[in-house]
Amino acid sequence: MTASPDDLTSVTVGQFFPYSAERVWHAITSPASISDWTTDIGRDSVAAGKTFGFTTFPMPEVNFGGHGDCEFTDVVPNERLAYRFTTPESSLDLQATWTLHPESGGTRLLVVHNGFDVANPIHDRLRILVRDLWTLVMSRIGELMAEPPDDAGPPPDDATSFSLAEFYPYPPQTVWQVVTSKEFVGDLVNDHDLGPVHTGERLSVTTYPIPIVGFGGRVDMEFLEVREPELIVSAFEIPIMGGTTALTMTWRLRPLDGGTQLWFTLSGFDPQSPLNRQVRSVLRGGAIPVLSRLGELLEGRGHRM
């Protein structure tokens, strides 16, 4: 991920993908990508002059109720896509522009989001939120272009779930010991009461609250199925804007090529809810460093196979 220096009226985020501009364009205009932020348009509606609605989390601190009105202002297939974003409250009037730049071995995708008010201190916070959002969007675009897993892996992602995979050069029992350790869980949350990981046991964790979605930071989990050292399935609920979303978290481990193939899956998102789709993208982005941290802890214990 790269980011260009911005002035205080804009945010620029970019990433290189080892794919052609045509393939990157296909990803950013695909139904899977578009459905993360609107249900008003399809691929055929990505054209200058077309309008659509944008639904996301309300941000009362910037007088944003969670809905925006958008219009494509410039569309050149495989090269450029721009749209204007305004709100019914007249609190925001922003422009987002995607550009695709062919480079050796792939394409660099840049998004510039401008129109922030330097005279409004709240827009400083908004710029940070927007930068984080586009970083997650870049991750989602990379996910859409990645090769599908082979037959031995979990089913491909859909709008109700996501799966991440990682190979570790350690035996399954060693990986299991780290995944179920207090050290690992303690690295991921602020507080927890992890005990034995057995079917029927419960786990409560406290993490950072997300006020804009009504999440207070506490999660209560129940282990639905545990088979050492192969499988952990747990269930929990998170509040989203006055409602709740019930999710299932699954860790699968199996021996492979002298080590362990691990799959992490989170399922239960409502594909009809724009907020659920965006929470899915946020949680997927947050899960990626979790698997990296697992690898770091494994480096300090056990023997390679």
What digits encode the pLDDT tens for the residues 260-291? 999 999 999 887 777 777 778 778 777 878 88
Residue 1 forms part of a structural domain: no
More confident residue, 158 or 279: 279
Does residue 140 share a domain with residue 187?
A: no
**For residues 274 and 39, is the Cβ–Cβ distance under 8 A?**
yes
> What residues have CB less than 8 Å from 45, skipping those under 6 apart?
52
Structural domain range at position 67: 10-145
Tokens of 1: 């991920």
More confident residue, 34 or 299: 299
For residue 170, give the CATH number of its domain: 3.30.530.20
* Domain count within the chain: 2
Least confident of 177-191, 229-243, 265-279: 265-279
Does residue 228 carry a pLDDT above 50?
Answer: yes
**For residues 73 and 47, is the Cβ–Cβ distance under 8 A?**
no
Tokens of 223: 């282990």
Does residue 181 share a domain with residue 135?
A: no
Q: How far apart are alpha carbons 169 and 167 in whole angstroms?
A: 7
Does residue 165 share a domain with residue 139?
A: no
Q: Check: pTM over 0.95? Answer yes or no.
A: no
Does residue 259 share a domain with residue 132?
A: no
What local confidence, expressed as pLDDT, does residue 44 receive?
62
Residue 305 — very low, low, confident or very high, per pLDDT cuts 50/70/90? very low
Residue 133 forms part of a structural domain: yes
Does residue 12 carry a pLDDT above 80?
Answer: yes
Average pLDDT on 298-305 reads 63
What local confidence, expressed as pLDDT, does residue 48 receive?
92
Residue 2 forms part of a structural domain: no
Nearest to 98 by CA among 68, 78, 124, 127: 78
Residue 150 forms part of a structural domain: no
Does residue 55 carry a pLDDT above 60?
Answer: yes
Percent of the chain surpassing pLDDT 70: 84
What local confidence, expressed as pLDDT, does residue 110 receive?
96
What local confidence, expressed as pLDDT, does residue 301 receive?
60
Q: How far apart are alpha carbons 295 and 16 in whole angstroms?
A: 25
What local confidence, expressed as pLDDT, does residue 73 receive?
95
Which of 83-92, 135-144, 152-161, 189-198 is the most confident on average?
189-198
Q: What are phi and psi of 251, to 5 degrees?
A: -115, 125
- Block residue for tokens 């997927």: 284
Q: How far apart are alpha carbons 72 and 25 in whole angstroms?
A: 15
Mean confidence (pLDDT) of the chain: 83
More confident residue, 55 or 249: 249
Which of 34-38, 58-62, 179-183, 189-193 is the most confident on average?
179-183
Nearest to 30 by CA among 114, 135, 145, 138: 145
Q: How far apart are alpha carbons 56 and 126 in whole angstroms?
A: 14
Does residue 277 share a domain with residue 214?
A: yes
Say if residue 68 is exposed, middle or buried (CB neighbours under 10 Å; 0-12, 13-18, 19+): buried
Does residue 131 share a domain with residue 31?
A: yes
Query: Helix H segments across the chain?
Result: 21-28, 31-34, 122-145, 172-179, 182-188, 274-298
Residue 155 forms part of a structural domain: no
CA angle (155 as vertex; 243, 41 as ends), nearest 5: 55
Q: How far apart are alpha carbons 138 and 198 in whole angstroms?
A: 37
Does residue 292 share a domain with residue 172?
A: yes
Residue 283 forms part of a structural domain: yes
Least confident of 97-106, 121-130, 192-201: 121-130
Nearest to 160 by CA among 31, 276, 285: 276
Does residue 166 share a domain with residue 82?
A: no
Average pLDDT on 139-156 reads 61
Does residue 41 carry a pLDDT above 70?
Answer: no
Q: How far apart are alpha carbons 305 and 300 in whole angstroms?
A: 15
Both ends of the chain: CA-CA distance in Å? Answer: 33
Does residue 47 carry a pLDDT above 50?
Answer: yes
Does residue 283 share a domain with residue 181?
A: yes
- 44-48: Cβ within 8 A, 24+ apart: 46/72, 46/75, 46/81, 47/72, 47/75, 48/72, 48/73, 48/74, 48/75
- Taking the CA atoms of residue 248, residue 166, residue 207 and residue 239 in that order, the dihedral angle to the nearest 10 degrees is -30
Does residue 95 share a domain with residue 45?
A: yes
DSSP label at residue 249: E
Judge if the upstream peptide bond of residue 18 is cis by omega within 30 degrees of 0: no
Residue 65 forms part of a structural domain: yes
